[in-house]
Structure 1
Amino acid sequence: MRISILAACVFAAAGQAASACGELIQSCTFEHGRDAVRICLIDGFVTYDYGPAGGPPELSLSVPIEEADYYPWSGSGSTVWEMITFHNEAYAYHVAAGFHKLREGEDTPRPPFGSIEVTYQGDLISSRACDAGSVQWGYGDGGLYGAKTAAGLCWADHPDFVWRPCAD
């Protein structure tokens, strides 16, 4: 099942149509819409664009789907979340998104949430929560999980927590 929380791409680089994103995995804004992040699947790659909303990205990173450092939801707990990490030399950009499951008696879903944590040589140097209401996130069988499995990889949950080739 695919739960779509995608309305429109909030981040479009100057002169670049939102459709150039391929498949939007996650996007959101920070600082009341001043900055934005966008994670997309494009032609076998996972891309990360970060910079001023509506302007060209200050940082763009790309990695083949097979090599993407992606941690899917474990399937337990009251919060559904996943994270992808992009590496750039000693820096790592940990982009997460999630939502809280409905509790008994609740009938209105809470909006999704997202964040970016930046580490340098493993030490946290920045943590930013996405603006409330700005998170767009596609969760379910498609998205990055679907792309990794289509590439012949399976998630080894316990005890390894790694992607590896699926057994025949």
Structure 2
Amino acid sequence: MRLFYATAICAVTASQALALCAPESTIVLSCTTNGGTDHLDVCISGDSVTYRYGPESAPDLTLTTTVARLEHQPWPGIGRAIWEAATFRNGAFSYEVYSSYDKFDQISDGGVTVYQQDNEVASLACDAGSVKLGLFAIGDAKEAAGQCWDPEAQIWGQC
């Protein structure tokens, strides 16, 4: 069932957003914000995950971490929306990128919430119709790196 949803989502959204991701990378989330003036992209390339935000020609912020170190909250498998979130850290700031796909309305959504310490300082939603998703890509990459999700403890650990 998970593969069906992932395939359907990719087919629905494949032409809706231009990604800053390299051609050989896997897109986790790609969309525009602010009426198309900025791009938000999360891409996996090998064992690295990269978050980019800003103008397409020169992103304002690029953060890269390893798949193993990335904080990731996978979809628990219930509800009308398939969703996940990943958090990138940069000093006192954290960037929680989220994405979802509503199974009934067949609408993809995403964005980023920025925190300084534990205080929300910004929240940017993807422009409607611009979202390209690769749901489960982070979870699949974490499993390939030898990590397993513990739903009770809500953490990734070694298998």
TM-score > 0.5, shorter chain as reference: yes
Identity %: 34
The residue that corresponds to 1:98 in the other structure is 100
The residue that corresponds to 1:163 in the other structure is 156
- Aligned pair 1:153/2:150, yes or no? no
Residues in 1 aligned to 2:14 and 2:77: alpha-carbon distance in whole angstroms: 25
- Name which one, 1 or 2, has greater alpha-carbon Rg: 1
Residues in 1 aligned to 2:46 and 2:102: alpha-carbon distance in whole angstroms: 31
The residue that corresponds to 1:29 in the other structure is 32
Residues in 2 aligned to 1:10 and 1:85: alpha-carbon distance in whole angstroms: 22
- Aligned pair 1:89/2:91, yes or no? yes
Residues in 2 aligned to 1:120 and 1:76: alpha-carbon distance in whole angstroms: 31
**In structure 1, what residue type is equivalent to 2:141?**
A
How many residues are paired up?
151
The residue that corresponds to 1:10 in the other structure is 18
Consecutive unaligned residues in structure 2, runs of 5 or more: none
Residues in 2 aligned to 1:152 and 1:11: alpha-carbon distance in whole angstroms: 28
- Aligned pair 1:41/2:55, yes or no? no
The residue that corresponds to 1:105 in the other structure is none
Specify which structure has the higher proportion of helix. Answer: 2
* Displacement after TM superposition at 1:75 (Å): 1.0
* Displacement after TM superposition at 1:95 (Å): 0.5
Contact 2:31–2:40 (CA<8 Å) still a contact in 1? Answer: yes
* Displacement after TM superposition at 1:23 (Å): 1.0
The residue that corresponds to 1:61 in the other structure is 63
**In structure 1, what residue type is equivalent to 2:158?**
P
**Cα RMSD, aligned residues only:** 1.6
* Displacement after TM superposition at 1:18 (Å): 4.4
- Aligned pair 1:50/2:53, yes or no? yes
The residue that corresponds to 1:144 in the other structure is 138
TM-score w.r.t. the length of structure 1 is 0.84
The residue that corresponds to 1:70 in the other structure is 72
The residue that corresponds to 2:23 in the other structure is 19
